[in-house]
């Protein structure tokens, strides 16, 4: 087995991983960085983010407003000190992206332009047409090429962390093109592997979004925090789940039911006005909009389609010219995949799983409880999203916390001595035996696709927009069963070169662990908050018992152990989450009482 | 799930297979795949992997024509398989092969190292014309200035243009369409001052003069980047530079 000696290993080459790598390289060019990614970095799922990235920009806006929107949007399950740091760093990091060449859309006088987004009081979403994630990812990837200390391991698949003397000391990877394993020694590691949305059936995520890093940390004893909070994005393509950005509504699009009625006004989001009003109607937060869809469906006011019920995203009144300028990708997706010209006809949409709010538990410095292990981006739970993420906060998160994770990991690496190579290699060889054993094994009879499909279906059934104890219990039981059946998985492909069936099996095993953490965390949260909504006697938020973070702990061959940790409240006491006219009234009352 | 009434249709997908550990040369294999009208070629290939032959290898991720992973030759034409639909080939058989002009690693997976090396060689990052601190805020850039390079920044590195380029087929060292478009993207960015450094490559043996203006690269580009336009603008630039360097101490590059 080859060994590569690095100082910091970064697992994941999307937005957060690239930003972390650049941060390490800028902090100390003498540190050797290994950037491991199972795909070429520009294939990472950051590429698919569309609408934009949040950061206070306009003179009428304030950091406090961004803070309040984020904390209330997260139903007060946010780490408020971390949110405060986050909102202050967003404009700095987005300006950094501008200096690195990100093609932000501009105002006529040349300033970066901002657009409205759901749950945000003031327009503060920086955007590059409707391909913001694509442009940020390519800008970061191309910029990373400047730094000779970043050694990329493209198309290398991470199969384990190496932990010795109570701290992370490396990672073991498979080179996909050869099937050969490598030990990457490092004095600190950053996990930046993205979310886990593919554990659900209908989702907006790319095939790579399989929760790898979450499972890696989890199996080494790091808790996964707030995993029950999974975001359904309200406007996705039926069947495939492909995303129609929230910017469609930020630009003025309507959501209507089968009667052409803007139904959101029936769910505390009105009044319905012809032009968008921030934090109202179509610019409400994602959890509320997806929940409203569910109720419309119950009332029989949705439209039947070949892939289930839909409502209509109506962009016609925006006109072709504006759609082509502001939403060119959406235009082409609708035309090519649905045969719909959005200037002439409404787009059928339904909610689909989009984002994993929870993740690897880290503090505000991106440090996990396992020394030397850091995490950033969707795989992490740094505490800014709470129970419901606001759209456009996650791209900013990649920059702000990717940088921070990189710098903290670099400092940690410099503070500890290198490990004992022989001991690390011994561990790595044991990992090699285990993963090669999966391919060599014969006699299995479970098909990967069958297990994956059953997992995705049971997650949708039990952990969807609304949840009930008995269906969540069924999901937990089903996942236990699938984990048992996985032991009997059959890999047809016995070759070394590009054996993607082998990788799919390893990914599925990661997914089953992450899915268990989600389902058990959901079952145990006996209240409704943000994206976790119950209909079985726990319909209300319960701050007495559940204003706390869930923490799922890995138990080998068993159900996860769930316990809870405190939520950091600094300046925003939990209040009523209200939007539309009700939200404005509540805000006025709050302001009056503060005078 | 597809409706049962739709699933009656079956299309033949002919896949070029190659496993370097067991095969001397690539060969075709035909699969019968049930499909619905909204299924992409990628979904057809995924069906094969999931239910018919788990050993089939290919790259894919986003399913929405932005990650650039799933380029394949489909009936001899380079396409992103996620936005190419089986219905458009039915009832005939559809043939799927690895992208032209690249070494095959396995089945539909090509070796893209050469492309990555080219991309890295063109200094694809801002070399500031006037350095600016973060405290000084953003550079101003008008929509017109953005417009000069935005199209060339839309390249998703899917390499369809290389599979279409006859010159790249003859000379794998030719820098080729996508990398030239990216080079041009930075050269014409109002924030950038690195054109002079990059133009050495344009003028070199591997540079733009290899292009014979076939224009097929722009035809197959799924993102309207129009790399042929970038290549030809750089031919003019390189030619101008070539003559100017006899009269100007800075080689004529601005």
What are the mean pLDDT values of chain B's consecutive 10-residue runs (254 residues total)?
61 98 97 96 98 98 98 98 97 98 98 97 97 97 97 98 96 94 96 92 77 90 93 79 55 39
Residue A347: predicted pLDDT: 98
- Average of per-residue pLDDT values in chain A: 97
Domain that holds residue A77: 2-229+357-426
Residue B208, pLDDT score: 80
The tokens describing A516, both together, are 């268990």
Residue A587 lies in a domain: no
Q: Which of A45, A47, A105, A193 to mutate to test the interface with B (most CBs of B within 10 A)?
A: A47
Pair (A220, A181) in one structural domain: yes
Catalytic residue among A201, A249, A389, A532: A249
- Residue A268, min C-alpha distance to chain B (Å): 33
> Do residue B62 and residue A48 have CB atoms under 8 angstroms apart?
yes
- Please check whether residue A570 lies inside any domain of the structure: no
Q: Do the Cβ atoms of B112 and A40 come within 8 Å?
A: yes
Contact A306 B116 (CB under 8 A): no
pLDDT at B245: 54
- Could you tell me if residue A127 is inside a domain? yes
pLDDT digits (tens, 9 = 90+) for A209-224: 999 999 999 999 999 9
Domain check: are A419 and A434 in the same one? no
> Could you tell me the pTM of the whole model?
0.96
What pLDDT score was predicted for residue B236?
78
Q: Do A146 and B105 touch (CB under 8 A)?
A: no
Percentage of chain A lying above the pLDDT 90 cut: 98
* Residue A60, number of CB atoms within 10 A of its CB: 11
- Give pLDDT tens digits for B37-85: 999 999 999 999 999 999 999 999 999 999 999 999 999 999 999 999 9
If one counts the domains in chain A, the total is 3
A101 vs B63, B66, B125: nearest CB: B125
**CB-neighbour burial class of residue A575 (10 A; exposed 0-12, middle 13-18, buried 19+):** middle
Nearest to B217 by CA among B109, B104, B99: B99
Calpha distance A527→B41 (Å, rounded): 44
Which chain B positions have a beta carbon within 8 Å of A39's beta carbon? 59, 61, 67, 69
Q: Is the CB of A497 less than 8 angstroms away from the CB of B126?
A: no
The per-residue pLDDT for B210 is 79
- Model confidence over A36-67: pLDDT tens digits? 999 999 999 999 999 999 999 999 999 999 99
Q: Does some domain include residue A107?
A: yes
Side-chain half-sphere exposure of B219, counting CA atoms within 13 A: 9
Chain A positions touching B132 (Cβ under 8 A) are 99
> Does one domain contain both A371 and A419?
yes
Q: What is the distance in angstroms between the Cα of A500 and the nearest Cα belonging to chain B?
A: 6
Residue A590 banded pLDDT, cuts 50, 70, 90? confident
The candidate with the shortest Cα–Cα distance to A474, out of A486, A460, A487, is: A460
Q: Are residues A277 and A374 in the same domain?
A: no
A317 vs B231, higher pLDDT:
A317
A584 lies in some domain: no
Note the ipTM here: 0.97
How close A206 comes to chain B (CA, Å)?
4
Domains of chain B plus CATH, in order, are 10-110 (3.10.20.30), 113-244 (1.10.1060.10)
At A593 the pLDDT is 75
**Residue of B38, B68, B191 lying closest to A101 (CB–CB):** B191
Give contacts of A495 with chain B, Cβ < 8 Å. Answer: 19, 21-22, 55, 106
**In a shared domain, residues A36 and A143:** yes
Looking at the fold, whether A329 and A261 belong to one and the same domain comes out as yes
Looking at residue A182, its pLDDT comes to 98
CB of B4 less than 8 A from some CB of A:
no
Do residues A180 and A199 share a domain?
Answer: yes
Residue A403 maps to a domain: yes
Q: Among A539, A556, A583, which residue terminates a domain?
A: A539
Å between B40 CA and nearest CA of chain A: 9
Closest listed residue to residue A328, CA positions, set B223, B160, B144? B223
- Position B253 scores a pLDDT of 40
A71 touches A79 (CB < 8 A): no
- A28 shares a domain with A54: yes
Contacts of A329 in chain B (CB under 8 A): 66
Domain co-membership, A122 together with A240:
no
Q: Can A138 be counted among the known catalytic residues?
A: no
Distance CA A533, CA A235 (A): 19
Among residues A539, A558, A581, the one where a domain terminates is: A539
**Residue contact B139–A98, C-beta within 8 A:** yes
Question: What CATH number corresponds to the domain at position A481?
Answer: 1.20.58.100
Separation in Å, CA of A109 to nearest CA in chain B: 6
Tell me whether residue A576 is in a domain: no
Q: Note whether B132 contacts A99, CB cutoff 8 Å.
A: yes
Shortest CA distance from B23: residue in chain A: A495
DSSP assignment string, A248-302: HHHTT-EEE-TTS--GGGGGT-----SS--TTSGGGS-HHHHHHHHHHHHHTT-S
Q: How many CB pairs under 8 A join A and B?
A: 162
State residue B206's pLDDT score. Answer: 75
**Are A168 and A260 in a shared domain?**
no
Is A249 designated active site? yes
Q: Are residues A72 and A205 in the same domain?
A: yes
> Would A153 be classed as within a structural domain?
yes
Contact A383, A376 (CB under 8 A): no
Joined tokens for residue A361 = 């538990």
- Summarize the confidence of residues A386-410 as an average pLDDT: 98
**Which of A353, A371, A386 delimits the end of a domain?**
A353
Distance in angstroms (rounded) separating the CA atoms of residues A582 and A133: 33
| CATH number for the domain that contains residue A69 | 3.50.50.60
Q: Are residues A43 and B142, on separate chains, in Cβ contact within 8 Å?
A: no
CB proximity B91 to A under 8 Å: no
Same structural domain, A157 and A274: no
According to DSSP H, which parts of chain B are helical? 41-47, 113-121, 143-150, 160-164, 166-170, 177-187, 195-203, 216-220, 227-244
CA A252 to chain B, closest CA, distance in angstroms equals 22
Sign of the four-CA dihedral B99, B104, B109, B115? negative
Preceding omega of A553 cis (within 30 degrees of 0):
no
CB contacts, 8 Å: B67 with chain A: 39, 42-45, 47-48, 206
The phi and psi torsions of A564 (rounded to 5 degrees) equal -135, 150
Can you tell me the mean pLDDT for A129-136?
Answer: 97
Q: Answer yes or no: do A491 and B54 touch at CB < 8 A.
A: yes
- Among chain B residues, the shortest Cα distance to A42 is held by B67
- Which of A107, A242, A447 is closest, CB to CB, to B64? A242
A85: left (phi over 0), alpha (psi -120 to 50) or beta: alpha
DSSP letter string, A574-589: ------HHHHHHHHHH
Collect all residues of chain A within an 8 Å Cβ-Cβ radius of residue B145. 110
**pLDDT 10s digits, A176-187:** 999 999 999 999
CB pair distance less than 8 Å for A47 and B22? no
């Amino acid at each position: 087995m080859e060994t590569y000696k690095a100082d910091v290993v970064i697992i994941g080459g999307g937005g957060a991983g690239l930003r972390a790598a650049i941060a390490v390289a800028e902090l100390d060019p003498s540190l050797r960085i290994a950037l491991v990614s199972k795909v070429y970095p520009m294939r990472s799922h950051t590429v698919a983010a569309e609408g934009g990235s949040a950061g206070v920009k306009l003179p009428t806006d304030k950091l406090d407003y961004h803070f309040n929107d984020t904390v209330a949007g997260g139903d007060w399950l946010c780490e408020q000190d971390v949110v405060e740091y986050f909102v202050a760093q967003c404009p700095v990091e987005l300006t950094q992206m501008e200096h690195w060449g990100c093609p932000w859309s501009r105002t006529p006088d040349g300033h970066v332009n901002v657009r409205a987004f759901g749950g945000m009081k003031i327009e503060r979403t920086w955007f590059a047409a409707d391909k913001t994630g694509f442009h940020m990812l390519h800008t970061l990837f191309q910029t990373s090429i400047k730094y000779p200390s970043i050694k990329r391991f493209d198309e290398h698949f991470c199969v384990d962390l190496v932990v010795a003397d109570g701290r992370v000391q490396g990672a073991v990877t498979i080179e996909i093109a050869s099937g050969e394993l490598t030990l990457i020694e490092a004095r600190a590691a950053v996990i930046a592997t993205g979310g886990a949305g593919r554990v659900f059936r209908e989702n907006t995520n790319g095939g790579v979004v399989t929760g790898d890093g979450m499972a890696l940390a989890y199996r080494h004893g790091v808790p996964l925090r707030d995993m029950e909070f999974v975001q359904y994005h309200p406007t996705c393509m039926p069947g495939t789940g492909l995303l129609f950005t929230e910017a469609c509504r930020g630009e003025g699009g309507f959501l209507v039911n089968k009667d052409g009625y803007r139904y959101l006004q029936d769910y505390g989001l009105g009044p319905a006005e012809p032009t968008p009003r921030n934090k109202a109607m179509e610019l409400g937060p994602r959890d509320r909009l997806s929940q409203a869809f569910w109720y419309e469906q119950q009332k029989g006011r949705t439209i039947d389609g070949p892939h289930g019920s839909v409502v209509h995203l109506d962009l016609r009144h925006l006109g072709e010219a504006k759609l082509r300028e502001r939403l060119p990708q959406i235009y082409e997706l609708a035309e090519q995949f649905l045969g719909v010209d959005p200037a002439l006809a409404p787009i059928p949409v339904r909610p689909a799983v989009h984002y994993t709010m929870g993740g690897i538990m880290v503090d505000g410095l991106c440090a996990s409880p396992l020394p030397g292990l850091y995490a950033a981006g969707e795989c992490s739970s740094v505490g800014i999203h709470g129970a419901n993420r606001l759209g456009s906060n996650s791209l900013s998160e990649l920059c702000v916390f990717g940088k921070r994770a990189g710098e903290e990991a670099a400092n940690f690496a410099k503070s500890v001595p290198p490990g004992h190579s022989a001991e690390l290699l011994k561990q790595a060889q044991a990992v090699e035996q285990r993963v090669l054993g999966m391919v060599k094994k014969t006699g299995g009879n479970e098909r990967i696709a069958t297990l994956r499909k059953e997992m995705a279906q049971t997650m949708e059934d039990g952990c969807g927009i609304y949840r009930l104890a008995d269906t969540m219990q069924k999901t937990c039981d089903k996942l236990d069963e699938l984990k048992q059946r996985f032991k009997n998985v059959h890999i047809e492909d016995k070759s070394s070169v590009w054996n993607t069936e082998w990788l799919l099996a390893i990914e599925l095993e990661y997914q089953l662990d992450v899915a268990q953490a989600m389902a058990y965390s959901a079952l145990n949260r006996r209240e409704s908050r943000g994206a976790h909504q119950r209909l079985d006697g726990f319909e209300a938020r319960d701050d007495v018992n559940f204003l706390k973070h869930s923490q799922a702990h890995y138990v080998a061959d068993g159900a996860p152990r769930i316990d809870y940790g405190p939520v950091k409240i600094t300046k925003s006491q939990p209040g009523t989450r209200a939007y539309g006219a009700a939200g404005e009234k509540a805000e006025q009352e709050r302001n009056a009482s503060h005078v | 799930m597809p409706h049962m009434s739709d699933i009656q249709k079956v299309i033949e997908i002919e896949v070029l297979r190659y496993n370097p550990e067991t095969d001397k040369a690539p060969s075709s294999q035909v699969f019968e795949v049930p499909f619905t009208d909204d299924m992409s070629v990628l979904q057809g290939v995924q069906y094969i992997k999931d239910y018919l032959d788990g050993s089939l290898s290919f790259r894919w991720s986003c399913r929405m024509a932005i990650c650039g992973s799933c380029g394949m030759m489909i009936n001899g034409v380079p396409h992103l398989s996620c936005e190419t639909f089986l219905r458009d080939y039915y009832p005939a058989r559809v043939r799927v092969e690895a992208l032209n002009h690249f070494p095959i690693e396995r089945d539909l997976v090509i070796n893209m190292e050469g492309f990555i090396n080219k991309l890295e060689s063109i200094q694809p990052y801002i070399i500031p014309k006037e350095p600016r601190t973060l405290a000084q805020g953003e550079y101003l850039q008008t929509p017109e200035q953005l417009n000069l390079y935005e199209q060339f920044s839309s390249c998703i590195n899917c390499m369809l243009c290389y599979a279409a380029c006859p010159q790249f087929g003859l000379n794998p060292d030719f820098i080729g369409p996508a990398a030239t478009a990216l080079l041009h993207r930075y050269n014409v960015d109002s924030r950038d001052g690195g054109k002079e450094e990059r133009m050495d490559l344009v003028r070199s043996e591997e540079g733009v003069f290899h292009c014979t203006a076939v224009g097929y690269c722009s035809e197959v580009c799924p993102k309207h980047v129009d790399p042929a336009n970038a290549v030809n603008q750089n031919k003019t630039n390189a030619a101008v530079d070539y003559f100017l360097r006899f009269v100007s101490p800075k080689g004529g590059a601005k």
